Structure 1
Amino acid sequence: MQVASPLPPHIPFHFFPKSSSSPSHLPSVVVKTRAVPVPHQAPRTTPGLPDNLHDQKLSQIADALTMRSSTKRRSPHAHSQRSPKRARSSDSSDATPPPSSSRTRESSIASSVSSSRSSTRNRSSPPTSVPPSTRSRSRSSSVLPFTEEPIPRECHIDEDAVLDETFLSSEKVVLGLMKSYVQYFKNPDDPHDRSFDPHPTNYPVGELEFPNSGATERYILLAPRDKDHYSPILDLERTLYTIIEHYLTPEQRSLFGTLPNDIAFSEMETTPATNHLRMLRRAVALCDGPLFVRTLDTINTLLRMLKYPPLPPDAFAPPNPNALRAAVAGWKETGLPRSVALRIVEETYQRTVGPRTHELNHYQAFSDTVYGELMPSLVSRLLSLSRARPGTLLLDLGSGVGNVVLHAALQSGCSAFGVEVMEKPSEMACEQRAQMMMRARMWGVRMGDVELEHANMLESARVNELMARADVVLVNNKVFGEKLNEAIRPKFLDLKEGALVISLEPFVVGAAGGGGRTVTERNLDDISAILDVSAYDYHSMDVSWASGIGKFYVHRVDRAGYADVRARFEASRTRSTRR
């Protein structure tokens, strides 16, 4: 069995309508005070199982999804070889640790990817002593925090999952890297049982039911030799917990037991006779393979009861719906839960790009083509800040492996276009798109349209065509040279009023410090004078090339403001001439 089937020939397609430029419907960035409480609650204790037993066995596995393997990511200025088998996660790197390590395991998947990183420093433009009649206008806003808000949209689909031979499962990924994996589970009742040992064909495997009808995935129950590599056991656990947390009602959840972050059941709730989720964690903590397999089978049986309910007694009555898929219809007001979006993004990346990251090393160091990624935590903030939603058109100039455009289309439902000049990242982006479309369907959710192009952004006719209709343009120009940045700037003249340009380095000269750039007579006719720029902080682990904090910049096309500045300059010149 091979890890992945050959890529089908890429056939360019165009889904955007040929319409004329129109004003953006995106509202201006609203400044609000953000307060996002993230409760940390102790799990309910059960007699006979110490609270820290599972943590001691699996804590460093959780580090894998907590740290996102960002230390293994390729820095734009690094020359070291990257491991070909590393996979990432939105909040951690997948790893199975030695049992001796002891750390506190994260309370939940949702809290581990909480949006607490979006705090920013307050700045304001410096005061000026120039009289109001002649002073120049600052084309920069103060740096203020913003509030991440849900994106209301229709998320559900009516179609069943369709998984063909091109589907890249966890089983296929690990099978192709079998030499990098070792035994994790054992049979405590039979020391001679070898059924949980690595084997080319007779390996231990577990299967998990996904929300949509016809959707399941198989996981090889082994641990990676390298703690920074993909851990299928932890991946299975996190996917299961996400399904239980977001797709089930409280009554349905009570059939399965308690999630890692659940507090003790209230008196109004019924404690299950067997806490299956806690039993699953116990099996992982004790490396008890038979217990893990039995418990997982029971959990899958319960999920299948919800997915495929019995037919009604009346033969003419409509069949009962898949309860898990029906739950997605209830997300219309709040949109796709962030943790569900991050799970789909990470599952896709781990299976598609993770095993091939070594192929991204082939670029010229310190050049405009140095590869770097924005982490899902930062992408989520950018989508919230830009108010992306269905009907929004997002362009990513230099889209790499397609992470941003795919994440945007999934989480917000917007239409997204990405252009990438490098062959390998462009190829992986096409594969990611195909895999994410299948995975989104497995989860029973819809995503926006994604178009990808392998081309030079400066020479692409498609970029020129879409620029006039774009609502958001993302440019990861952290390592772009001055010449390339200058070549990109004229394209912004085609943007409609209110459109946003988000970048890692400012396109407005003098705004890098966050204080903004002042329009004077000398730069009045500069292209960037139509841009009103604000600076925001990004945080640790938000980008692949650095572990510290940095800045990103949001430029808003404001021709009306520029016209006001120019009118005041012209009036000032007229008064000076009359004198």
Structure 2
Amino acid sequence: MTTIDSSKTEDRSHLLVEKDQNKQTVTLPPKKVMASKLAAAAAAAKAAQAAAAEAEAAQAAQAQSQPVVETEKKSGESTKTDVSSTKRRLSSSVENPREKKISREKAPIVKPGKSITHSDRIVQAEISQYRPYFTETDADSPGQSAPTTKEKNLRVVLEYPGSIEPENFLLLKPVLKNTTGRSNEEEEEDKDEYNPITDLMRTCEFIYDCYLLPGEQQKLLGNQSHGIMRNLTKYRNRRSSAGFSQAVKDFNKVMRRLKAEGVISKNAKAMCHPNYDLACHILFQVYSRTVARQSDALNNYQAFSNNVYGEINPILVKDFISKTGVNSKSVFMDLGCGIGNVVLQVAAQTGCEAYGIEIMETPCKFAKRQLKEYAARMKAWRLPTGKIHFRHGDFLDVAANDLYATLKRSDVLLVNNYAFDAATNQALAQLFLDLKEGTRIISLKSFVPKHHKINQRTLNMPESILRVEEFEYYSEAVSWTNNGGHYYIATVDRGRLAPYFEEMYGH
């Protein structure tokens, strides 16, 4: 708020009084002439007032969408005025001439909130690898002319459950590089690249399945046999640009209605957290818009070192959540989090407080980039994000990274130690001595040797406080192999040492 110095106002009024006193006297005209001039002036003022009223009405209609603020008149009444005009009046009361100049030349800027990265930006960045998809006219309209360039490069917007802006989709198909230059029919689709049409269709399906209750609500969109949902599939398959575009518009219309009636908000609140499939779709959207185009940079590591990069796939993370019982009150930590996929998935599915620390700069940069997009995406889906933090640093030096206090209150730790050497695993085991009772540690290699036994010689070793369970995972659970394997969950259980201490020291 701008504060106006009352003393300066009094000084200016004093100067104005002196100026009035120094004015020269002017002889007034005769009364009849004065009367006629007054009448003419009154008529002109009335006409000006009518014109001003019309202009004010037009301006008010135009300014309905602009933000308004409450200001007080001298009489104490409250009136709504435009933000920009309020700022101009306030700035004109300040004596600083530089501020006056800025207020006249530069309109106030309203900073936008968090926004998603739109699909069309991703496609546009790699436009040379994309080709038109909608190339056929509508079979239901045989007299329709051939599709135009605009129809072939179809742009649509899709309404999301949240209050964030609709997402823009440029509906092209990705093609293999070695087929570019051929005719559109001969170019083979690249199944490994981002496909905006598939993204849009799956988004519509998840909104239908997760945000609308069976019965009257889903009936508004139909199903795969009739209605809007059927039209999306039908016109996609027929490659009808006009039909598909209209189906998306119809979908948006229903969504806006349900959002206005509060149905979507109520259903999202009841859902609380996304199920596994929806969480995977949201994280796919995040990854495709932040990491996918630069994923080759993740391969820049020293072979056979502790920094070898590998990802744990979502299906195995789902198993971790189920086996450890992570919930909204839990604290989860990923030591060596890479690009943060596991941290984001656990937080999305459970709403827990989640931390990740990564020593390599590039993966950590991607993790923070994903977190920013994740926050905007979850807002678009009207879902809670959970409390998520990423740190760049060495997980063996948690004190330097301000994570030591968090480590001690963690409920679940994940350590992808598949490629770690023995020294690193031993150093990690020393950290576990500070964990609270009951903390669970997930690892790809066991921290406790298979034939480890508790005795007087091993009582003080960190391995002795860990009770280990072994589980099996299957193909496609991790990125570095298609084969299955095993993972381990160790639980901090100091109670198992009590009999040995009693034997040594008595009660």
TM-score, with length taken from structure 1: 0.61
Alignment match of 1:286 (pick from 224, 234, 238): 238
**Partner AA of 1:171 in structure 2:** D
Q: Contact (CA 8 Å) 2:468, 2:491: kept in 1 or not?
A: yes
1:193 aligns with 2:193: no
Matches within 5 A, 1:437-476: 437-461=375-399, 462-476=402-416
Match runs of 1:237-386 below 5 Å? 237-250=201-214, 251-259=216-224, 274-309=226-261, 322-331=262-271, 335-386=273-324
Alignment check: 8 A CA contact 1:185 1:289 kept: yes
Which structure 2 residues correspond to residues 33-182 of structure 1 after superposition, within 5 A? Answer: 164=113, 167-182=116-131
1:443-467 Cα distance to aligned partner (Å, 9 max, x none): 1111211111101111231232322
Aligned-residue offset at 1:180 = 1.4
177 and 509 in structure 1: CA distance in 2 versus 1, 3 angstrom threshold: same
Alpha-carbon displacement from aligned partner over 1:301-350 (angstroms, at most 9, x marks no partner): 111111124xxxxxxxxxxxx31122122235xx5333222222221112
Residue 212 (structure 1) aligned to one of 159, 162, 185: 162
Distance in 2 of aligned mates of 1:565 and 1:342: 47
Q: Is the 8 A contact 1:306 1:324 kept in 2?
A: yes
User: Secondary structure at 2:396's aligned position in 1?
Assistant: coil
Task: State the distance in 1 between where 2:499 and 2:193 align.
Answer: 56
- Higher helix share goes to which structure? 2
- The residue aligned with 1:387 is 325
Deviation string, structure 1 residues 519-567 (Cα, Å, up to 9, x no partner): 3565444321100000111122111111121111100000001323554
8 Å contact 2:135–2:147 — kept in the other structure?
A: no
Shift of the 410–192 alpha-carbon distance from structure 1 to 2, 3 Å rule, reads closer
After TM superposition, the score normalised by the length of structure 2 is 0.70
CA distance in 1, matches of 2:206, 2:366: 26
**In 2, are the aligned partners of 1:163 and 1:438 still within 8 Å (CA)?**
no
- Tell me the SS of whatever aligns to 1:230: coil
Call closer, same or farther: CA 1:551–1:413 in 2, change over 3 Å: same
Cα displacement string for residues 274-315 of structure 1 (whole angstroms, at most 9, x for unaligned residues): 522112111121222221111111111111111124xxxxxx
User: Does the CA contact (< 8 Å) of 1:280 and 1:292 recur in 2?
Assistant: yes
What SS is found at the alignment partner of 2:426? helix
Is contact 1:196-1:221 (8 Å) kept? Answer: no
1:327 partner letter: N
The letter for the 2-side match of 1:540 is: S
Of residues 507, 530, 542, the one that matches 2:465 is 530
> Does the CA contact (< 8 Å) of 2:151 and 2:242 recur in 1?
no
Note if contact 1:464-1:491 (Cα within 8 Å) is conserved in structure 2: no
Q: What is the SS of the residue equivalent to 1:458?
A: helix
The answer on whether the counterparts of 1:395 and 1:470 sit within 8 Å (CA) in structure 2 is yes
Q: Which residue of 2 aligns with 1:231?
A: 195
Aligned equivalents of 1:482, 1:181: Cα separation in 2: 47
What one-letter code is carried by the residue in structure 2 that aligns with 1:392?
S
Deviations 1:198-242, CA, capped at 9 Å, x for gaps:
xxxxx4212111001244111110111122111110011111100
Which one of the candidate residues 545, 553, 564 is aligned to 2:480?
545
**2:423 aligned with 1:483:** yes
Q: Which residue of 2 aligns with 1:151?
A: none
Q: Distance in 2 between matches of 1:528 and 1:370?
A: 25
What whole-Å deviation, never above 9, does each CA across 1:29-56 have from its counterpart, x for those lacking one? xxxxxxxxxxxxxxxxxxxxxxxxxxxx
Give a deviation string over 1:497-519, Cα, whole Å, max 9, x none. Answer: 10001011111112xxxxx7543
CA contact (8 A) 1:532 1:556 kept: yes
CA contact (8 A) 1:411 1:447 kept: no
- What is the root-mean-square deviation of aligned Cα atoms in Å? 2.1
In 2: Cα distance, 1:518 partner to 1:223 partner: 59
**CA deviation map 1:131-177 (0-9, x unaligned):** xxxxxxxxxxxxxxxxxxxxxxxxxxxxxxx9758631211111111
Q: What's the CA shift string for 1:464-494, capped at 9, x where partnerless?
A: 2322111111101111111211111100000
Structure 2 CA distance for aligned equivalents of residues 216 and 163 of structure 1: 15
**Counterpart-to-counterpart distance in 2, 1:396 and 1:228:** 28
Q: Which of 447, 456, 468 is the equivalent residue of 1:507?
A: 447
Partner Cα separation in structure 1 for residue 481 and residue 321 of structure 2: 21
Give the Cα–Cα distance (whole angstroms) in 2 for the partners of residues 540 and 493 of structure 1. 34
Question: 2:335 is matched with which residue?
Answer: 397
Cα distance in 2 between the residues matched to 1:548 and 1:280: 38
Q: Distance in 2 between matches of 1:165 and 1:396?
A: 26
The 2-side partners of 1:518 and 1:236 are apart by: 56
- Using the alignment, how far apart are the partners of 2:232 and 2:353 within structure 1? 40
Cross-structure match for 1:556:
491
Q: Secondary structure at the match of 2:305?
A: coil
Q: % of aligned pairs identical?
A: 33
Which whole-Å CA distance do the structure 2 matches of 1:382 and 1:192 have between them? Answer: 50
| Contact 2:114 2:376 (8 Å CA) reproduced | no
**2: CA distance between counterparts of 1:228 and 1:240?**
21
Return the letter of the residue paired with 1:555.
Answer: A
Shift of 1:388: 1.1
For residues 166 and 208 of structure 1, the distance between their equivalents in structure 2, rounded to whole angstroms, comes to 14
Bigger CA radius of gyration: 2
C-alpha distance in structure 2 between counterparts of 1:400 and 1:423, whole Å? 9
Can you give the 5+ residue segments of structure 1 that lack an aligned partner in the other structure?
Answer: 1-161, 198-202, 265-273, 310-321, 511-515, 575-579
Higher RCO, 1 vs 2 (CA within 8 Å, ≥6 residues apart): 1
Quote the Cα distance in structure 2 between the aligned partners of 1:285 and 1:566.
72
The 1:447/1:521 distance shift into structure 2, 3 A limit, reads: same
